[in-house]
Structure 1
Amino acid sequence: MVSTQGRLTIVLACCAAMCSAQAEPLNLDAEYLRQREQLIKQMADRQWCADVAGQVAHPASLIAESDRDPADVVIRRTGALLDHLSRQGVDLSDAAGQLDKLRQRAAEVPLDAAADRQAIYLQACHLRRRIAWSNPLLDFDKLLFLTRHRPMRGDHHMVDQYYGFNAKPGGSVCVLEKPFSDQPTARDVLKDVKVTSGRLAGQTLNAGSFNTLDLDYDGESIAFAWTECGTVPEDADWSNQPWSKQRAIDNHKPYYHWNPSTVFHVFRAKLDGSQLVQLTDGPWQDFDPCFMPDGRIAFISERRGGFLRCGGNRPNPSYTLHRMNGDGSGVATLSFHETNEWNPSVDEHGMVVYTRWDYVDRDDDGAHHMWTCYPDGRDPRAWHGNYPKKRETRPWMELSIRAIPDSNRLVAVAAPHHGYNYGSLVRIDPQLPDDGAMSQLRRITPEAHFPEAEQAPGKPHDRGKHNPAGEVYGAPWPLDENFYLCVYDPGQRHHGIYLVDVFGNKELIWRDPSIACVDPMPLRPRKRPPVIPDQVRPAEQSASATVTVMNVYGADFDWPADTKITALRVVQIFPKTTFHMHEPRIGAADQSLGRGVLGTVPVEADGSAYFEAPVGVPLYFQALDADGRAVQSMRSDTYLHPGESLTCQGCHEPKREAHTSLKMNSAPLALRREPSKIKPAVEGAWPLSFPRLVQPVLDSQCVDCHRKHPDSPDLTGAIGKNGWSKSYQSLAPFAWKLYGANGSIFATGSRSTAGQLGARASKLIKLLEDGHYDTKLTDDQMHRLVLWLDTNANFYGVYHDLGRQGRGECVNPLLQ
Structure 2
Amino acid sequence: MNKFCTLAQVAGGLFSLLLLAGCSGGSGEGSSLGGGEQAEDPVVVDYPVVYVRRTLNRDEDGGLMVDDLYAPSAFNPGAELVLRDRATASAAERVLTEELFVSDEDAGIVFEGGYDVKDLAVSADGAQLAFAMRAPNIEGLDDDEQPSWNIWLYEFDSAELKRVIQSDLIAEEGDDIAPAFLPDGRIVFTSTRQRRSRALLLDDNKPQFSALAENLDEPAFVLHVMEADGSDIQQISYNQSHDLSPTILFNGRILFSRWDNMGGIDRLSLYTVKPDGTDLQFHYGYHSQATGTGTGPDPVPAAFSKPQQMPDGRILVTLRAPEGITCGGDMVVIDAENFTEAYSEPEQQGILQGQESLSVEQVITDGGLSPHGLFANAWAFHDGTSRLLVSWSECRVIDPETELPQPCTDEWLATPDIVPADPLYGLWIYDYVEGTQRPIIQPVEGQMISEAVTADTRPVAEFIPQPIPGIDIDRDLYDEGMAVLDIRSVYDFDGTAAVDIAAVADPLQTTAAERPARFLRVVKAVGIPDDDTRDFDRSAFGRNRSQLMREIIGYTPIQPDGSVRVKVPADMPLAISVVDANGRRIVGRHNNWLQFRAGEVRKCQGCHSRDSEVPHGRTDKEPGSAWAGAPTSGAPFANTEPALNAEMGETMAQLLARIAGHPVLEGDLKYADLWTDAALRAKDPSSELLMSELITPSPTSVACQSDWSAACRTIIHYQEHIQPIWDLPREIIDADGNVLEDRTCSSCHSNRDAAGMAQVPPGQLDLSANQSGVNTNFSTSYVELIFDNPTQELRDGAVQNVLVQDTDDDGNLLFETDEEGELILDADGNPIPVMVTVDIQRIMDTGGANASRFFSIFEAGGFHQGELSAAELRLISEWLDIGAQYYNNPFDAPVD
TM-score by length of 1: 0.68
- Matched residue, 1:163: 73
Q: Flag the 1:170–1:455 CA change in 2: closer, same or farther, 3 A.
A: closer
Deviations 1:277-310 (A, max 9, x none): 3223215221111111111111121112112343
- Matched residue, 1:610: 565
- Matched residue, 2:490: 552
Q: Decide whether the 8 Å contact of 1:535 with 1:643 is kept in 2.
A: no
1:715 maps to amino acid:
L
Mapped partners of 1:268, 1:372: distance in 2:
25
Residue 506 in structure 1 maps to residue 437 in structure 2: yes
Q: Decide whether the 8 Å contact of 1:174 with 1:186 is kept in 2.
A: yes
- Matched residue, 2:335: 429
Residue 649 in structure 1 maps to residue 556 in structure 2: no
Mapped partners of 2:250, 2:306: distance in 1:
16
- Matched residue, 2:193: 303
Residue 678 in structure 1 maps to residue 675 in structure 2: no
Mapped partners of 2:188, 2:48: distance in 1:
25
- Matched residue, 1:765: 855
Q: Flag the 1:369–1:286 CA change in 2: closer, same or farther, 3 A.
A: same
Deviation at 1:267, TM superposition (A): 1.5
1:758 maps to amino acid:
G
Deviation at 1:399, TM superposition (A): 1.3
Question: Structure 2 regions of 5+ residues with no counterpart?
Answer: 1-12, 166-170, 195-209, 292-297, 396-421, 470-474, 501-514, 609-613, 630-647, 669-690, 692-697, 700-712, 729-743, 754-758, 790-844
Mapped partners of 2:892, 2:34: distance in 1:
67
- Matched residue, 1:640: 596
Deviation at 1:329, TM superposition (A): 0.8
Q: Flag the 1:295–1:411 CA change in 2: closer, same or farther, 3 A.
A: same
Deviations 1:361-385 (A, max 9, x none): 133xx30121211111223222222
With 629-638 and 491-500 compared, the bigger mean Cα shift is at 491-500
SS at 2:240 equivalent:
coil
Q: Decide whether the 8 Å contact of 2:550 with 2:888 is kept in 1.
A: yes
For 1:706, which of 733, 749, 754 is the aligned residue? 749
5 Å-filtered alignment, 1:393-412, equals 393=299, 395-412=301-318
Mapped partners of 1:332, 1:381: distance in 2:
19
Mapped partners of 2:496, 2:725: distance in 1:
35
Mapped partners of 1:725, 1:687: distance in 2:
19
Q: Decide whether the 8 Å contact of 1:697 with 1:781 is kept in 2.
A: yes
Bigger radius of gyration: 2
The count of residues paired between Structure 1 and Structure 2 equals 632
For 1:732, which of 786, 797, 807 is the aligned residue? 786
SS at 1:74 equivalent:
coil
Q: Flag the 1:573–1:536 CA change in 2: closer, same or farther, 3 A.
A: farther
Q: Decide whether the 8 Å contact of 2:17 with 2:372 is kept in 1.
A: no
Q: Flag the 1:620–1:494 CA change in 2: closer, same or farther, 3 A.
A: same
Deviation at 1:710, TM superposition (A): 4.0
Mapped partners of 2:878, 2:218: distance in 1:
31
More strand by share: 2
Q: Decide whether the 8 Å contact of 1:734 with 1:763 is kept in 2.
A: no
Q: Flag the 1:428–1:395 CA change in 2: closer, same or farther, 3 A.
A: farther
1:717 maps to amino acid:
A
Mapped partners of 2:385, 2:855: distance in 1:
54
Deviations 1:192-241 (A, max 9, x none): 6799xxxx9x99999633222211222112222222212341xx4x5xxx
1:605 maps to amino acid:
P
Q: Decide whether the 8 Å contact of 1:451 with 1:470 is kept in 2.
A: no
Residue 575 in structure 1 maps to residue 530 in structure 2: no
Mapped partners of 2:188, 2:578: distance in 1:
34
Q: Flag the 1:765–1:386 CA change in 2: closer, same or farther, 3 A.
A: farther
Residue 534 in structure 1 maps to residue 466 in structure 2: yes
5 Å-filtered alignment, 1:20-31, equals none
Deviation at 1:122, TM superposition (A): 5.6
Aligned-residue RMSD, C-alpha? 4.3
SS at 1:398 equivalent:
strand
SS at 1:694 equivalent:
helix
SS at 1:382 equivalent:
strand
SS at 1:597 equivalent:
strand
SS at 1:680 equivalent:
coil
For 1:589, which of 524, 537, 544 is the aligned residue? 544
Deviations 1:46-88 (A, max 9, x none): xxxxxxxxxxxxxxxxxxxxxxxx8xx727x99xxxxxxxxxx
- Matched residue, 2:53: 147
Mapped partners of 2:785, 2:497: distance in 1:
29
5 Å-filtered alignment, 1:112-151, equals 121=30, 133=41, 138=44, 140-151=46-57
Q: Decide whether the 8 Å contact of 1:426 with 1:443 is kept in 2.
A: yes
Q: Flag the 1:450–1:148 CA change in 2: closer, same or farther, 3 A.
A: same
Mapped partners of 2:372, 2:263: distance in 1:
28
Q: Flag the 1:226–1:368 CA change in 2: closer, same or farther, 3 A.
A: same
Residue 801 in structure 1 maps to residue 710 in structure 2: no
Q: Decide whether the 8 Å contact of 2:15 with 2:373 is kept in 1.
A: no
Q: Flag the 1:119–1:510 CA change in 2: closer, same or farther, 3 A.
A: closer
Q: Decide whether the 8 Å contact of 1:413 with 1:426 is kept in 2.
A: yes
1:670 maps to amino acid:
A
Deviation at 1:731, TM superposition (A): 0.9
Question: Structure 1 regions of 5+ residues with no counterpart?
Answer: 1-33, 40-69, 79-114, 239-256, 458-467, 736-754, 806-816
Mapped partners of 2:622, 2:246: distance in 1:
27
1:773 maps to amino acid:
F
5 Å-filtered alignment, 1:75-94, equals none
Q: Decide whether the 8 Å contact of 1:171 with 1:515 is kept in 2.
A: no
SS at 1:393 equivalent:
coil
Mapped partners of 2:427, 2:315: distance in 1:
23
Mapped partners of 1:702, 1:478: distance in 2:
71
Mapped partners of 1:176, 1:417: distance in 2:
34
Q: Flag the 1:373–1:508 CA change in 2: closer, same or farther, 3 A.
A: same
Counting aligned pairs with the same residue, the percent is 20
Deviation at 1:640, TM superposition (A): 1.7
Residue 787 in structure 1 maps to residue 878 in structure 2: yes
- Matched residue, 1:687: 715
1:525 maps to amino acid:
T
Mapped partners of 1:717, 1:210: distance in 2:
54
- Matched residue, 1:566: 518
Q: Flag the 1:671–1:691 CA change in 2: closer, same or farther, 3 A.
A: same
- Matched residue, 2:128: 221
Q: Flag the 1:133–1:644 CA change in 2: closer, same or farther, 3 A.
A: same
Q: Flag the 1:36–1:289 CA change in 2: closer, same or farther, 3 A.
A: closer
Q: Flag the 1:419–1:37 CA change in 2: closer, same or farther, 3 A.
A: closer
